[in-house]
Each structure stands twice: as C-alpha cells, then as structure tokens.
Amino acid sequence: MNQRQVELALKKQRLQLRSAALRSEFAGHALALAPLFAVGDSVRDGALWLRRHPEIAVAAAVILLLTRPRTLFRWTRRGVVAWQAWSRMRAWVEARLAWLEARRRFMQ
C-alpha cells in the first residue's frame, strides 16, 4: 500500500468510528421519545382494529343516534370540519413542496 491508500484507509476508519459514536448518541436521544412513539403505535393499532371491525363503529353510532342525537350530530360536524381542514392543509403543503422543488431545480 502506498501512503495515499494508507491515509484513505485511516480516514475511512475515523469516519466509521465517528458514525458509530453518532449513532449511539442518537439512540440515547431517541429514548426520550419512546413514550410518544408508544402512544402513536397504540393509536395506529386502534385505528387498524377499527378498520377490521367497522361494525363496532356503526353500532356505537346507532346507539349514540338513538340516545343522544344532538351529540352525534355535533361530533359529526366537528369531524367534517376537521377533515376539510386537513384536506386543505394537505393540499397547501403539497403545493408548497412542489413549488419549492421547482424553485430548487431552477436554481441549480
């Protein structure tokens, strides 16, 4: 091996050691987020279960409609408003990202 190859091998080794240290540090920081991820996983699991068992949601809606129709209509209205807001926000974000991507390509 010539001197240049030795230098490159040493540089590669130092970079690998630095990457390992950074991965370890990142894993330590990520532990603080574990409870938040656990809640997110639980919500996702609940949503998947509800998709597999839609009859439960329908039964709950029928019971609520028969016992408390105003409550059902109020929550339905809130759900529709939330869905519309989500759709508009998502469309705006997608348009903004497309604009930024086009701008980035133009600037290159």
Q: What is the pLDDT of residues 27-41, one digit of tens each?
A: 988 888 899 999 999
Give the end-to-end CA distance of the chain in Å, rounded to a whole number.
40
Is 91 inside any structural domain? yes
**Does residue 63 fall inside a structural domain?**
no
Q: What is the pLDDT of residue 30?
A: 87
**Per the domain annotation, does 59 fall within a domain?**
no
Residue at 60 is within a domain: no
Residue 9 lies in a domain: yes
Residue 61 lies in a domain: no
Total domains in the chain come to 2
Distances (CA, A) of 20 to 3, 12, 25, 27, 93: 26, 12, 9, 11, 35
Give the separation between CA 78 and CA 3, rounded to whole angstroms. 70
44 & 83 share domain? no
Domain with 24, as residue range(s), is 1-52
pTM of the predicted protein model: 0.47
For 6-23, the pLDDT digits (tens) are: 999 999 999 999 999 999
Same domain, 5 and 46: yes
